[in-house]
Amino acid sequence: MLTLDPSFMLIRHTADDAESVISDLADTLHTYGAVQADYGQETIEREKKHPTGLPTKPFAIAFPHAEAKGVVESSLAVATLSSPVSFLNMADPEEALEVEVVFLLANKEPEEQVQALRQLALIFSDSEKLVYLREIESPAIAAEWFRDQLLNLE
């Protein structure tokens, strides 16, 4: 089960680059107590080695994450961006993607991470859902929407 607090939802967020989005998202989790202080930095390091941008339609997304150590409580933080930032394409790290929504995953158990990814893939592969998510205007509604999306599944 992923913790989805409204404070993890950064709506129309402004950030200069991928690193600051990751760090802002990780800060929301850290403030809540869901991850340790270095989770953001760990994730930034991992993103450099194994980028997580995805060329989803109609706009690109990214799902940065780090290893399970440093995670106190499995959680998901999301930023919808007021203007896109560049992430590298997971499938082709030579290609930069202009990303509009960033999903920061924090999972305590590897098996749980697989499960979370299975659920998120149903959002990634559905353009109507991605557009709906991008247009959500309040953190409370965004958190509620994610609970619905992720709870409908096992």
6 binds another protein (CB under 8 A): no
Three-class secondary structure assignment of 35-89: ECCCHHHHHHHHHHHCCCEECCCCCEEECCECCCCCECCCEEEEEEEEEEEEEEE
69 binds another protein (CB under 8 A): no
x/- letters, 97..136, toward another protein (CB under 8 A): -------------x--xx--xx--x--xx-----------
- CB 138, min distance to another protein, A: 27
Report how far residue 8's alpha carbon sits from residue 25's, in angstroms, rounded to the nearest whole number: 7
Classified as helix, coil or strand, 104 is: strand
Piece of 34-42, 69-77, 84-92, 131-139 that binds another protein (CB under 8 A): 84-92
Closer of 5 and 51 to another protein (Cβ): 51
- Which residues are within 8 A (CB) of 128 and not within 5 positions of it... i.e. 6 or more apart? none
92 CB neighbour count, 10 Å cutoff:
12
55 binds another protein (CB under 8 A): yes
- CB 73, min distance to another protein, A: 20
Piece of 5-13, 14-22, 86-94, 134-142 that binds another protein (CB under 8 A): 86-94
90 binds another protein (CB under 8 A): yes
In degrees rounded to 5, what are phi and psi of residue 15?
-150, 150
| Token output for 25 | 């998202």
Q: What is the contact surface with another protein in residues (CB under 8 A)? A: 46, 49-50, 52, 54-57, 65, 90-92, 110, 113-114, 117-118, 121, 124-125
